[in-house]
C-alpha cells in the first residue's frame, strides 16, 4: 500500500448525504465522480450542490474548488474507475451493502479506501462482503449535513487495518473536517447516541407536562446548548471545577449528578406520546414555516462555525467569568 494523495472521490448514492458530501468535496477542490440508480439523480445532485454553494463560499473555498468538478454516471464501474477514495451512501440494508462491497473490492486497487456513511450497520458486518481486501473498508460517518457540520466519526470493523483508519482520519482532517476515532462498534456510533440520550429526557419532560416544547427548547438552546456549541461536556466539566479542574468538579457534582440520573425518564413513543410532542412543537413553531425556521437555524449555524474556526490560540488569556 502506498500513501497516494487522495484527489479523486467516488460518491456512491446521491441522496441527501451523498449530495452533501459531493458539495463538500467540490468545495475542498477535489474531483468527484458520482453514481446513483435513481431517475433524475444527476439533476437533483447538481441542484443540491448549487443550493449549497453560497454557504460553502462563505465558509471558504479551497484552491481549484468548482461545481463543475463533478461528473455523474449511473454505472458503478465507471464511477469508481481511478478513484482514490470511495464514499458510500447506499441503503442501510446489510445484504445490499455486502454485495456492493464485493463488487467494489473487485473493481478497486487494494490501496483505495472504501468509507461508508452508515450509522445503522457495523463495518464488521459490511466488510464481510469484501473478501479480498476487507482491511481497506471503514466507517466515515458524517453528521448531517456534512457540507456544513464538520464532524466525521471513524470506526473500523474487525478486519479494518490501523493504516486505513489513520489514512481516513488524515484525509478528512486535511479537508477541514473534525474527526472522532470510535474504538468500539456501537449502535449510533457516538454523536447519535448523545442525541438519543438527550432527546429521551426532552421527550419525557414534554410528555409529562413538565414543560412545553417551546420551553424545553429555550432551556436547552439558551442554557447548556449554548456551551455545547462552544466546547464538549468533558472540557466544560474541567472548567466547571474552577481552579481545581475536573477533580474538583467530580468532588462537587458526582453526588447530585448521580441523584439526578436516578430520576431521569424512560418514555415510550406511543402514538399518544408522539401526538403530545407533535402538538407542542406546532404550538412552538406557530405560523413559521419549516423553510423559514431552517433558514434561521442555518444562518446562526454558519455564524457559529465561522466563530469557532477562528484560531482559538489568538484569544487573549483572560476570563470573563470566575466559574
| Contacts to a second copy from residues 154-213, by CB under 8 A | 178-184, 186-188, 190-202, 205-206, 208-213
Shortest approach of a second copy to residue 91 CB, angstroms? 14
**CB nearer a second copy, residue 94 or residue 149:** 149
Nearer to a second copy, 3 or 247 (CB): 247
Quickly list H helices, the chain.
16-27, 41-59, 76-80, 94-107, 123-126, 162-174, 191-207, 213-221, 224-228, 233-240, 245-263, 271-285, 290-309
Binding mask 138-157 for a second copy (x = CB under 8 A): -----xxx-xxxxx-x----
How far is the CA of 208 from the CAs of 211, 219, 256, 257, in angstroms? Answer: 8, 16, 22, 21
Site string for a second copy, 285-314 (x = CB under 8 A): x---xxxxxxxxxxxxxxxxx-xx---x--
CB of 43 to a second copy, least distance (A): 14
Which of residues 2, 266, 286, 287 is near a second copy by CB under 8 A? 266
Touching a second copy, residues 53-72 (CB under 8 A): 54-55
Helix (H, G, I), strand (E, B) or coil at 252: helix
Q: Who contacts 109 (Cβ-Cβ below 8 Å, separation ≥6)?
A: none
Is residue 48 a contact residue for a second copy (CB under 8 A)? yes
At residue 85, the 3 state secondary structure works out as strand
Distance (Å, whole) CA 168 – CA 147: 17
Judged by beta carbon, residue 158 or residue 226, the one nearer a second copy is 226
**Nearest to a second copy of 131, 199 (CB atom):** 199
Question: Per-residue x/- marks for a second copy, 243-262, CB under 8 A?
Answer: x-xxx--x---x-xxxxxx-
Angle at CA 282, nearest 5°, toward 278 and 284? 115
Q: Is the peptide bond before 145 cis (omega within 30 degrees of 0)?
A: yes
Nearer to a second copy, 95 or 316 (CB): 316
Which of 27, 41, 45, 52 is close enough to bind a second copy by CB under 8 A?
52
Strand order in the sheet with 137-142: 70-72, 31-35, 8-12, 85-88, 113-116, 137-142, 151-156, 178-182
Q: What is the dihedral of CA 287, 293, 294, 298, to 10 degrees?
A: 170
- 2 vs 258 by CB, closer to a second copy: 258
| Closer of 80 and 155 to a second copy (Cβ) | 155
75 binds a second copy (CB under 8 A): no
Binding residues with a second copy: total (CB under 8 A):
130
**Beta carbon of residue 130, minimum distance to a second copy (angstroms, whole number):** 24
The reply on whether position 38 binds a second copy by CB under 8 A is: no
Cβ 105 to a second copy, closest distance in Å? Answer: 28
322 binds a second copy (CB under 8 A): yes
Please say whether the beta carbons of 92 and 116 come within 8 A. Answer: no
Is 94 a binder of a second copy (CB under 8 A)? no
What DSSP string describes 197-239? HHHHHHHHHHHTTSS-HHHHHHHHHTTHHHHHTTS-HHHHHHH
| Distance of alpha carbon 157 from the chain centroid | 19
Using CB under 8 A as the binding rule, the residues of this chain from 206 to 245 that contact a second copy are 206, 208-239, 241-243, 245
Residue written as grid cell 468538478: 69
Site string for a second copy, 102-131 (x = CB under 8 A): ------------------x-----------
Amino acid at each position: 500500500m502506498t500513501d497516494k494523495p487522495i484527489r479523486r472521490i467516488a460518491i456512491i448514492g446521491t441522496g441527501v448525504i451523498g449530495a452533501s458530501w459531493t458539495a463538500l468535496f467540490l468545495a475542498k477542490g477535489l474531483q468527484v465522480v458520482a453514481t446513483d440508480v435513481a431517475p433524475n439523480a444527476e439533476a437533483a445532485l447538481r441542484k443540491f450542490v448549487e443550493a449549497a454553494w453560497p454557504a460553502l463560499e462563505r465558509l471558504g473555498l479551497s484552491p481549484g474548488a468548482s461545481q463543475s468538478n463533478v461528473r455523474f454516471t449511473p454505472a458503478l464501474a465507471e464511477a469508481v474507475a481511478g478513484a482514490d477514495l470511495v464514499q458510500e451512501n447506499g441503503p442501510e440494508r446489510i445484504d445490499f451493502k455486502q454485495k456492493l462491497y464485493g463488487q467494489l473490492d473487485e473493481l478497486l486497487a487494494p490501496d483505495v479506501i472504501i468509507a461508508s456513511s452508515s450509522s445503522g450497520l457495523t463495518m464488521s458486518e459490511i466488510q464481510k462482503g469484501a473478501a479480498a481486501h476487507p482491511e481497506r473498508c471503514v466507517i466515515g460517518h458524517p453528521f448531517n449535513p456534512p457540507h456544513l457540520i464538520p464532524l466525521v466519526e471513524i470506526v473500523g470493523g474487525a478486519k479494518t487495518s490501523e493504516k486505513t483508519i489513520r489514512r481516513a482520519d488524515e484525509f478528512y482532517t486535511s479537508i477541514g473536517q473534525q474527526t472522532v476515532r470510535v474504538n468500539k462498534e456501537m449502535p449510533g456510533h457516538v454523536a447519535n447516541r448523545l442525541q438519543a440520550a438527550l432527546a429521551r429526557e426532552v421527550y419525557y419532560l414534554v410528555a409529562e407536562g413538565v414543560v412545553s416544547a417551546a420551553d424545553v427548547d429555550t432551556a436547552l438552546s439558551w442554557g447548556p446548548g449554548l456551551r455545547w456549541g462552544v466546547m464538549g461536556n468533558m472540557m466544560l466539566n474541567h472548567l466547571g471545577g474552577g481552579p481545581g479542574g475536573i477533580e474538583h468538579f467530580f468532588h462537587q457534582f458526582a453526588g447530585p449528578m448521580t441523584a439526578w440520573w436516578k430520576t431521569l425518564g424512560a418514555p415510550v413513543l406511543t402514538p399518544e406520546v408522539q401526538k403530545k410532542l407533535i402538538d407542542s412543537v406546532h404550538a412552538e413553531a406557530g405560523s413559521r414555516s419549516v423553510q423559514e425556521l431552517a433558514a434561521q437555524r442555518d444562518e446562526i449555524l454558519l455564524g457559529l462555525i465561522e466563530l469557532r474556526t477562528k484560531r482559538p490560540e489568538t484569544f487573549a488569556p483572560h476570563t470573563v467569568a470566575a466559574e
